[in-house]
Amino acid sequence: MTPGIVLDLVLVAVMVVWGVSGWRRGALAAVLGVAGVIGGGWFGLWIGPKLLELLPELAGQRGFRLIALTAMFLAGVGIGSKLAAILHNKVGSDEPARGIDAALGAVANVFVVVIASWFFIVAVRPFATPTVQSAIDGSRIHATIDSFIPEQFSELATRTVQDLVAHLPVVFGGVDPVLPTEESDAGIVNDPQVLGVAASVVEVATRSPACVSDSTGSGWVVSPGRVVTNAHVVAGSRSLTVARATGGGALSATVVALDPDLDVAVLAVDGLDAPALPRAPQPLAAGADAVAAGFPWGGPYHLSPGRIRGTLVEQSTDIYGGEGVAREIYAVRGTVRPGNSGGPLVDTDGHVIGTVFAMSLSDPETGYALTDAATATLLDQAPSLTWEVDTGDCPAG
């Protein structure tokens, strides 16, 4: 039995229990329960990260963080439900629900489970262990619910995750020049060459007990057994793993190169049976289509269509907040979010043109990628890099 099936069975069981409870108690109690569960659950997820800041060493462990956030969510749900029950006792009836009232109560309670479970899963997935992430990604019920969730709810969940995970680096001091360009062609993500890059894109997960939290990001295979990602993804880590977008389980990795100025790292991964992605022979001009491949928010593999706004030279800080170096970068009109860090930016032929590393703080439709030219010296050396290097200090922020 797969982890996804186990999660589906748990969700069905919870829906049945809550549906029966709603049938017995009626619509008023169920409506109050909706408010109590959603409000209490949101409060638990909101206050959880703030309390974890009091225990920085434990908070950096992915398993502990997941357990703590789960406990705070359930505590919030319990408190909200209790307050709703107290209010119902004051204004409701003690008589058992019947007919339409009972049916509405059952429907309302199942609705609570659907929304609360979806919201909770989306919010905690970035901190989940690989097994739990596998269960989430394999859950047909969660995938079905996610496909019907209105955009407003997705935005609320996204804002919650933004409060729970680390942000991408800041470029241009947070005051970004926005170069105008047309919206990208969403259909390019279905091009066979673009779909094919999935075999060589990985999710990078670290255990970083010395840092505020563990980190997740993306990476791509530059040569056999070698993966490129961002330095800020792996900096300060004690151990790390990579998992291919196409499945196959997590593999241990070691850092064999780390450049905090460029924000690039190379990982050695024994047993990684994945082809290297070809690098584009020429840079892309403004207006050209491009696709960012990776794992935004630590979630499932995703292809985000984009269009090159232009090529810029950015002088900013290194990953520790110190004086950095000038870097050539692409400004891309598209969606880049935490978790995309280190993933490839590819052209419509599936060739890598850059490595995603930052998002705009002033324009939600702009992301940034280091050009291949900016990182070429290190990437060309990747096949010969064999010695493990120190991951250094935790990145700023």
Q: What is the pLDDT of residue 62?
A: 53
Q: Is the pLDDT of residue 169 over 70?
A: no
Distance CA 277, CA 344 (A): 9
117: phi then psi, degrees, rounded to nearest 5: -65, -40
CATH for 193-276 is 2.40.10.10
Tens digit of each residue's pLDDT (9 = 90 or more) over 80-105: 767 766 765 665 455 554 567 677 77
The confidence band for 257, taking pLDDT boundaries of 50, 70 and 90, is: very high
Q: What is the pLDDT of residue 108?
A: 77
Distance CA 218, CA 358 (A): 12
27: tokens are 């619509």
Q: Is the pLDDT of residue 176 over 60?
A: no
Average pLDDT over residues 341-360: 94
317: tokens are 């800080």
Distance CA 150, CA 139 (A): 19
Q: Is the pLDDT of residue 26 over 90?
A: no
Active-site position among 101, 139, 184, 232 = 232
Distance CA 283, CA 231 (A): 23
**Residue 232: active-site member:** yes
Domain ranges of the chain: 3-165, 193-276, 288-376
Higher pLDDT, 67 or 199: 199
Q: What is the pLDDT of residue 78?
A: 78
Average pLDDT over residues 253-266: 95
Q: What is the pLDDT of residue 79?
A: 83
Distance from CA of residue 240 to its chain's centroid? 16
**Residue 351: active-site member:** no
Q: What is the pLDDT of residue 158?
A: 57
**Residue 154: active-site member:** no
The confidence band for 377, taking pLDDT boundaries of 50, 70 and 90, is: very high
CATH for 288-376 is 2.40.10.10
Q: Is the pLDDT of residue 166 over 60?
A: no
Q: Identify which of 125, 44, 134 has the alpha carbon closest to the alpha carbon of residue 81.
A: 44
Average pLDDT over residues 223-240: 95
Active-site position among 81, 341, 351, 360 = 341
Q: Is the pLDDT of residue 304 over 80?
A: yes
Active-site position among 263, 289, 318, 372 = 263
Which residue carries 């069975």 as its tokens? 9
Higher pLDDT, 240 or 365: 240
241: phi then psi, degrees, rounded to nearest 5: -135, 160
pTM comes to 0.64
Mean model confidence pLDDT for the chain: 82
Average pLDDT over residues 351-365: 86
Q: What is the pLDDT of residue 167?
A: 47
Which residue carries 């097994």 as its tokens? 131
